[in-house]
Amino acid sequence: MSQILVKSNSVSTNVDFESSILVDGVTRVFPGPTPVEALRNVCFEVQSGSMIALVGPSGCGKTTILKIIAGLDQPTNGSVVVGGSSPEIARKAGKFGFSFQHPALVPWRNVVENISLPLEILRQQNKGKVTELIKLTRLEGYEKLAPFQLSGGMAQRVALARALVTQPQYLLLDEPFASLDWLLRQKLVIDFARIRLHLQPTSVLVTHEIREAAFLADRIVVMSGRPGTVLETVPVEFPRPRSEELLISPEFLLFCSQIESIYKPYYD
């Protein structure tokens, strides 16, 4: 694959505002005796139905960006527009799905009950969607098991199904596979790519695993160390659907090496 790195310092104006996420000049400074600048002038867009991945060194503000997109934190400067309105409006309308590093399943609820929880909170009825997601996440036969009876991979599948059950327009993922070993992680990444392609929510993934980002994303936003800034926005040009064989192809491994080389100096 040829070099395809593209510098990004601003947000495009050719965007479908009704279903996109726009992060424009976001700076976040945490106040205190010694103020901490976590983010500086971060700009990127997520087009409708696409996925971007945020990669960069620890502490560069990736999770802070997710919180700001979700309306759970506020930028010091800059703005975020979700579907043409504020993040708070989108969140209160139930347009977000969330998946985190730890599944955080409710221990006294079985698989079906955990997946159904967001529907109950939003007072929605959609048993058909629960059944569909159990099938898509390959949890058939495990519907009545409690969280303590599940393996780590199965628990993460339940968490992903729960994130998708309300058919969210926007999906925010904060290292959802990080607690798993690479072989299991690889299997879930492949399954998740299939599920996301089927449902097509507009998605933002935070990850430290470059192979995961390159396999799942349409574009990769590479960030510097603190304060987190956008170093490069890299289009991922491998055609979809992406197969397991791609993960070991020379072109894929070279691409991942290119991504790593951008922010590797921030570890020195």
pLDDT for res 29: 96
Q: d(Cα 75, Cα 206) in Å, to the nearest integer?
A: 18
Is domain 1-95+168-182+199-268 in CATH 3.40.50.300, yes or no? yes
Alpha helices in 165-246 (DSSP H): 182-199, 210-216
pLDDT of residue 176: 87
* Residue 33: CB atoms within 10 Å: 4
Cα 180 from chain centroid (whole Å) = 16
Rounded alpha-carbon distances, angstroms, from residue 261 to 231, 237, 258, 268: 11, 18, 5, 12
CB 96 within 8 Å of CB 163: no
pLDDT attached to residue 80: 96
Give the residue extent of every domain in the chain: 1-95+168-182+199-268, 103-167
Q: Where are the alpha helices (DSSP H) in the chain?
A: 62-69, 87-92, 111-121, 127-136, 152-164, 182-199, 210-216, 250-263
pTM for the model: 0.87
What is the predicted pLDDT for the residue at 19?
A: 63
pLDDT (tens digit per residue) in 184-234: 888 889 988 988 888 899 999 999 999 999 999 999 999 999 999 999 999
Distances (CA, A) of 198 to 48, 121, 128, 166, 261: 14, 25, 16, 15, 32
The C-alpha atoms of residue 100 and residue 189 are separated, in whole angstroms, by: 14
At 101 the pLDDT is 81
| SS3 call for 192 | helix
Mean pLDDT of the chain: 88
**Which pLDDT band holds residue 268 (cuts at 50, 70, 90)?**
low
C-alpha angle 222/194/172, rounded to 5°? 45
Tell me the pLDDT tens digit for each residue of 33-71.
999 999 999 999 999 999 999 999 888 999 999 999 999
Rounded average pLDDT over 162-177: 91
In 3-state terms the chain splits into helix, strand, coil percentages (rounded to 5) of: 35, 20, 40
How far is the C-alpha of 1 from the C-alpha of 63, rounded, in Å? 30
Instruction: For residue range 76-102, list pLDDT tens digits in order.
Output: 999 999 998 999 999 888 899 998 888
